[in-house]
Amino acid sequence: MAEAMFVLAHLSDPHLGPLPRARVRELASKRMIGFVNWRRGRMHALAGPVLSGLLDDLALRKPDHVAVTGDLVNIGLPGEIIAARDWLEAFGPPHDISVVPGNHDAYVPGVLAKALAAWHPYVVGDGTAHPGAARFPYVRRRGPVALIGMSSARASAPFMATGHVDTATLPALHDELDRARRQGLFRVVMIHHPPSPNATLWHKRLVGSGRVRAVIRDAGAELVIHGHTHVDSHVEIEGRDGPVPVIGVPSASNAPGGEKPAGRYNLFSIEGEAGAWRCHMTERGYAGPGAAIGVIRERRLR
């Protein structure tokens, strides 16, 4: 029997600010570059009121679940990680919000482990009650949907923002996708960096993205959602049973009038059953400076 419509909200790259006060030794290496970039432009382009307004609008839609695909912080300062944990707790309970990390959440070596520990209830699969290290992929079942979280976060060199998926996790991704298919679930892969080819600049790419696509080509999926690029995008990659939509969303904090689209989030309305899924996508956000939040675009994905 088909289940009732399930609504999944997707937002990404909130880059929560402002930056906390940092000691000089905390700004060593790559963090100094990020700090300067924040002061010169990001603190203005990524506006807190934009995110606040977007979340108020999202709450009115009452989605069944929310996926956040990374870059909660900026340069991985300890204060940022704690502030992001507090933000998540204010946003909603872990049962209703699934998070995967982005490259800014792994800005320098050692930061990712601290972030995942602080955000632990939001980055683990169903049935994970112990406080051990987060493991990827993780799987959560919500209604007819299997949410499969992958990590592409890894510390990179200065002026680089590449993503990496640990090849050791790919067999598990294949197994989880195949298991969810046999259970008749709508499979959503959550990842920060887009796995589609030529999705972004070379220094921001997902290294080894072809291996991720190979898994999806063999095991299948119904939807892939990501952030990282700060733009809206819709491409398709090959899947086991046909094309798989790969959907990117602008930063939830992008201020209107900048180079990148203003803050948005996506709603995916999912209904049907295996072999006959229907998925309708609605983009909501700021159309431009001074504009109220509204529908930007609608499209049928399946």
Average pLDDT, the chain: 90
Pick from 187, 195, 189, 194: which is nearest to 249 by CA? Answer: 194
Q: How far apart are CA 144 and CA 182, in angstroms?
A: 12
Residue 78 has pLDDT above 50, yes or no: yes
In whole angstroms, give the CA distance from residue 208 to residue 154.
Answer: 13
pLDDT at 291: 86
Is the per-residue pLDDT at 241 higher than 80?
A: yes
Predicted TM-score of the model (pTM): 0.91
Nearest to 32 by CA among 18, 19, 46: 19
pLDDT of residue 111: 94
- For residue range 83-96, what is the model confidence (pLDDT) as tens digits? 999 999 999 999 99
Counting residues of the chain whose pLDDT is more than 70, the rounded percentage is 88
Helices (H), 15-154: 30-37, 43-45, 48-61, 78-91, 111-118
Give the residue extent of every domain in the chain: 3-300
Per residue in 48-61, pLDDT (tens digit) is 789 999 999 999 99
Given CATH 3.60.21.10, say whether it is the number of domain 3-300.
yes
Residue 42 has pLDDT above 60, yes or no: no
In degrees rounded to 5, what are phi and psi of residue 233? Answer: -150, 150
Q: What is the pLDDT of residues 123-158, one digit of tens each?
A: 999 987 666 678 999 999 999 999 999 999 999 988
Contact 82, 118 (CB under 8 A): yes
- Residue 68 has φ and ψ, to the nearest 5°, of -120, 115
